[in-house]
Amino acid sequence: MKFRLIIIFFIIGINCSFSQIQNRAHAEELYSKTLTHIKKGIAYLEASQQKENDSIFKFKGEWETQMSMNFWFPLLGGENSSYDSNCFSVATIHNILANIYLAYPEYNEILPMLDMAFDRIMDYQSDGSFNFWNLLPATKPHKLFEKETDELVRRPNNFPLKMKFMLKAANVTNDADDTAAGLMALYLSNKMKGDQIPDSLDSIHLIFDSYTDTNRRNRLWYNFWQGQGTESGAYLTWLGDEHDFASGWNPIQELFHLSTFYLPFSKMYPHAYQPYIPYGSNDLDLVVNANILNVLSVYNNQKSIASENAIDFIEDNVKDKNYNYAATYYPNQYHIPYYVSKAYKNGVEELDKSCALIESFILKKYFEENKWVSRDIINKGDQLQSTVLAVNSLLNISGIQSENSEEAIISGIEYIFSNAKEKENKIFWEGGVFFSGGTLVRHVLHWKSDAVTTALVLEALISFRSQLESKYPDLKNSESQAIQK
């Protein structure tokens, strides 16, 4: 009997040891793959960055982004895709790479990329805020009987806009989303250089506090449709003056202006060479609010009068689980989880309730379908982009310390590995939808970029690497570390 018990305990011990070795072996395998994909992904971004200006068609320091029409739409034309230079894409990649370098300075090949990208981002700045597009010569006169013009306007640098209405409408005012991304780039640039944040940036909250959903006599029809506002006190998207109704806003007035949008008296009509707010109404966007909270937190700026309202606005919408439509410009259902969780990770602790709901939503989707996918109309479900956003969200909230999250994260990471495209010792991931034209064209006009998606993957892999090293500290000394040499 005693001998039999010894044998049983011996077998159990072997099985436990075997199980532990398997876990350890799996961790080493994941770690090795992660290091390889990070290194080769950075190499891809280094090689694909634009090194010189090509007139006004491509700019030094940026990465390729495609502005794509998925099907015909009035005023915009038919299916088309063109190279587009914009602040949001280059700032997104810059900020991810900067955070990678700050966490792991061994990736010093990032530094020259950051220098070029930073200069490019700053070209979008004017009067302390940032625009989505470059300030460029108008492709043709905006006025009816005008033969030529020297005016500069905001516009896409390659996408064809043939109608005067759209040429004028493209000349958008500066916005809070690009401003948050640009201010983040400024912060990270100073941090990498070891410089103090300039005193001039102590009051960045005033940029956003000047445009909030308070005391307005206007409203965007999309927010009305989504039941967002009024008087939410949250941040608005556009940093400019909207139409001001004399006696307040109502749906009938909105319908009237919408039906006469092509006439100069409509609030929705864009005027020649004047900065334009789409539909003549400022709007509320859940992701924009999260991005503003994110940059304010990184600057340790606690002076904003609208931050609590923005947190409440986000939480109210997350509770409704309306991930597909609650964000005006972000159509993938995992955009909201990604940006809200990122703000939470960067110190906006008051988003904890929202992030608990987000984590539950993402895990439920995973365990029901064993994958993450958006609606079919969003780039045929955009499974890779959805997975990258979902995995980043889980890593931002609980990470691999949570048993359920760990299983989903590892499954997502393996899927990401399996979709890598390798060429000449460089790895990239095919671009998914990272932005849309919003409202009526949120399913029609999309921005995609292999470089942006690759940067988002690298963000996930760096976070995953860091969490693996925390859970298995001796991984850093393992043979797989030799990959980086």
Q: Give the domain range for residue 73.
A: 24-484
- Give the CATH number, domain containing residue 450: 1.50.10.20
Residue 126 to residue 124: CA distance in whole angstroms: 7
Does residue 193 lie within any of the structural domains? Answer: yes
Q: How far apart are CA 239 and CA 191, in angstroms?
A: 27
Residue 222 pLDDT: 97
Cα–Cα distance, 253 to 419 (Å, whole number): 49
Tell me the two tokens of residue 429.
């991931």
pLDDT of 467: 96
Per the listing, tokens 């990329």 go with 113
- Beta bridge partner(s), residue 447: 67, 435
Alpha-carbon distance of 151 to 136, in angstroms, equals 8
- Residue 131: pLDDT over 50: yes
**Segment 386-418, tens digit of pLDDT:** 999 999 999 999 999 999 999 999 999 999 999
- The answer to the question of residue 14 being in a domain is no
How many Cα atoms within 13 Å fall on the side-chain side of residue 451?
Answer: 28
Separation CA 248–CA 477 (nearest Å): 66
Residue pair 467/447 in contact (Cβ under 8 Å)? The answer is no
pLDDT in tens, 30-70: 999 999 999 999 999 999 999 999 999 999 999 999 999 99
Work out the number of other CB atoms within 10 angstroms of the CB of residue 50.
Answer: 19
User: Does a structural domain hold residue 2?
Assistant: no
E strand or H helix that includes residue 80: strand 80-83
In the numeric block, the tokens 């000394």 are attached to 477
Q: What is the spatial distance between Cα 343 and Cα 166, in angstroms, rounded to a whole number? A: 34
**Does residue 10 sit within a domain?**
no
CB 84 within 8 A of CB 159: yes
Per-residue pLDDT of 84-112, as tens digits, reads 999 999 999 999 999 999 999 999 999 99
Q: Is residue 15 included in any domain, yes or no?
A: no
Contact 139, 153 (CB under 8 A): no
Evaluate whether residue 406 is within a structural domain.
yes
Number of domains in the chain: 1
Whether the pTM exceeds 0.85: the reply is yes
Q: Around Cβ 148, how many Cβ atoms within 10 Å? A: 8
pLDDT greater than 90 at residue 482:
no
Residue that wins the pLDDT comparison between 421 and 477: 421
* Residue 6 lies inside a defined structural domain of this protein: no
With cut-offs at 50, 70 and 90, classify the pLDDT of residue 1: very low
- What is the C-alpha to C-alpha distance for residues 150 and 223, in angstroms, rounded to an integer? 37
pLDDT tens digit sequence for 412-439? 999 999 999 999 999 999 999 999 999 9
Please tell me the predicted confidence (pLDDT) of residue 476. 84
**The dihedral sign for the CA sequence 299, 436, 121, 138:** negative
The pLDDT tens digits for 343-381 are: 999 999 999 999 999 999 999 999 999 999 999 999 999
Find all residues with CB under 8 Å of 85, minimum gap 6, and list them. 58, 59, 62, 65, 133, 134, 156, 157, 158
Question: Distance (Å, rounded) from C-alpha 232 to C-alpha 251?
Answer: 18
- Alpha-carbon distance 231 to 233, whole Å? 5
The backbone region for 465, taken as left when phi is positive above 0, alpha when psi lies in -120 to 50, beta otherwise, is alpha
Per-residue pLDDT at 24: 76
**Residue 220 belongs to some domain of the structure:** yes
Encoded tokens for 442: 């949120």
**25 pLDDT band (50/70/90 cuts)?**
confident
